[in-house]
């Protein structure tokens, strides 16, 4: 994507498509097209060799009409303001689709975490947290893990913020370790929610989970847990890819053994029994379900016609470009958009935040029961709009999310 036609441009195009059905007042639509606040910070870090390097960090609060901003922090070499703004907009719609009392935000640092030591990542995280500390807080903006960040990253962020305040503030982040206020069920929540939407889609399409074939693009937190859970409920995961390539076995992959292979070698490539292939080749595997679970733009006009899947459940945020989306819609592929399919993570983040604020924690069975209820209800609300307005599921989900945000904006009014 070019700067003139970047990720945020794609999000605005989806917003415009939704507005054809909503007919929002011009001022409301304009507000929804512009982030509320954007912060760019310089993050100086002393590296292990003594050199001081300067990284660029971002935090964007897209809209807070429905409540405190909520969204992850990613560490990646290609982090830009355009990307973070787009992801913050998606978080805004996502929180509204599942009817959480949150607005949307996103943050990130442009760095290569794979080439940094644990000490360097800790110093980067602590300084970045300090630089955005006036932006975040349990009543204003609550970060969470995203690409190349995890519960340890959140522990450093929570500790740094707490040191600034002078007392422990567990509710400032979610996705942190259970021992400091994290929630049970959070590690696999995004994938749990995705599988719930797949089960609802199968009912809608009169298909069965048992023996259903699956390919997964991305074998990180979301991709691994999605593959593991789908395998455990009777689906057959035949293909998995990561950033270095893919592996296919039409008889089904041993997910636990594949995870060990990736941990040992750094990639799924070379796993046996299995055949190595490129990501584009893997897209052509005759699977019922495809789960793109890495970065945005994985599926584009150059490879979309390879896809044989009947259903796509987006584990990543906007892994399908708008051009590719049109091709899939014309081909009759049932796409469950990320603002619904991967919303399980923010739902359980909401549970974690609530538990932190009340200092009372639930057991995992209660969390999974509440998650299933919220995701199932949201799926059918989106499906109803899709049928009523005769639009694809992405447009339907955007209509639902944008409508709820617009209602909050309009009822609150303009200050001063």
Judge whether 141 and 171 are in contact, CB under 8 Å.
Answer: no
| Strand order from edge to edge, sheet including 69-76 | 37-46, 52-63, 103-110, 69-76, 141-145
Provide the 8-state DSSP code for 138. Answer: T
Provide the 8-state DSSP code for 320. Answer: B
- Out of 106, 176, 262, 403, which one is annotated catalytic? 106
Distance from C-alpha of 254 to C-alpha of 187, rounded to nearest angstrom: 21
Is residue 106 part of the annotated active site? The answer reads: yes
Contacts of residue 398, defined as CB under 8 A and 6 or more positions apart, other chains included, come to 14, 15, 17, 18, 93, 337, 339
Cβ atoms within 10 Å, residue 206:
6
Closest Cα partner for 91 from 101, 104, 81? 104
Distance from C-alpha of 195 to C-alpha of 229, rounded to nearest angstrom: 7
Distance from C-alpha of 49 to C-alpha of 117, rounded to nearest angstrom: 11
The half-sphere exposure of 398 on its side-chain side, counting CA atoms within 13 A, is 23
CA of 105: how far to CAs of 74, 171, 239, in Å?
12, 16, 33
Give the helix/strand (H/E) hosting 282. Answer: helix 279-283
Cβ atoms within 10 Å, residue 33:
14
Provide the 8-state DSSP code for 150. Answer: -
The half-sphere exposure of 126 on its side-chain side, counting CA atoms within 13 A, is 14
Judge whether 61 and 105 are in contact, CB under 8 Å.
Answer: yes
Q: What is the dihedral of CA 277, 281, 285, 289, to 10 degrees?
A: 100
Active site residues: 106
């Amino acid at each position: 994507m070019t700067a003139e036609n970047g990720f945020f441009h794609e999000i605005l195009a989806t917003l415009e498509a939704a507005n054809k059905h909503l007919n929002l007042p011009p001022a409301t639509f304009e507000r929804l097209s512009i982030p509320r606040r954007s912060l760019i910070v310089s993050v100086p870090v002393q590296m292990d060799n003594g050199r001081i390097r300067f990284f660029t960090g971002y935090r964007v609060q897209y809209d807070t009409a429905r409540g405190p901003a909520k969204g992850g922090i990613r560490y990646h070499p290609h982090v830009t303001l355009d990307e973070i703004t787009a992801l913050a907009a998606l978080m805004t719609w996502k929180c509204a689709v599942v009817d959480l009392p949150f607005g949307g935000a996103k943050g990130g640092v442009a760095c290569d975490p794979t080439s940094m030591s644990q000490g360097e990542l800790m110093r980067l995280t602590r300084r970045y947290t300090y630089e955005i500390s006036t932006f975040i807080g349990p009543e204003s903006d609550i970060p969470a893990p995203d690409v190349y960040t995890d519960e340890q990253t959140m522990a450093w962020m929570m500790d740094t913020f707490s040191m600034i305040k002078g007392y422990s503030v567990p509710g400032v982040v979610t996705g942190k370790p259970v021992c400091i206020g994290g929630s049970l069920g959070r590690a696999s929540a995004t994938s749990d929610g995705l599988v719930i939407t797949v089960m609802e889609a199968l009912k809608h399409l009169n298909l069965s989970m048992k023996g259903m074939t699956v390919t997964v693009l991305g074998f990180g937190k979301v991709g691994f847990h999605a593959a593991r859970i789908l395998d455990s409920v009777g689906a057959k995961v035949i293909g998995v890819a990561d950033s270095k390539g893919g592996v296919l076995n039409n008889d089904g992959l041993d997910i636990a053994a594949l995870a060990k292979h990736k941990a040992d070698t750094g990639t799924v490539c070379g796993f046996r029994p299995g055949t190595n292939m490129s990501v584009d080749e893997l897209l052509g595997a005759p699977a019922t379900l495809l789960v793109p679970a890495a970065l945005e733009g994985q599926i584009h006009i150059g490879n979309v016609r390879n896809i044989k899947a009947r259903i796509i459940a987006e584990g990543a945020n906007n892994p399908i470009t708008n051009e590719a989306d049109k091709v899939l819609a014309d081909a009759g592929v049932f796409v469950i958009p990320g603002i619904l399919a991967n919303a399980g993570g923010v739902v359980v983040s909401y549970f974690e935040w609530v538990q932190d604020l009340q200092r009372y924690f639930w057991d995992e069975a209660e969390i999974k029961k509440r998650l299933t209820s919220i995701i199932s209800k949201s799926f059918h609300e989106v499906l109803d709009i899709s049928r009523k307005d005769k639009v694809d599921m992405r447009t339907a989900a955007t209509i639902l999310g944008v409508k709820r945000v617009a209602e909050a904006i309009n009822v609150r009014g303009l200050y001063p």
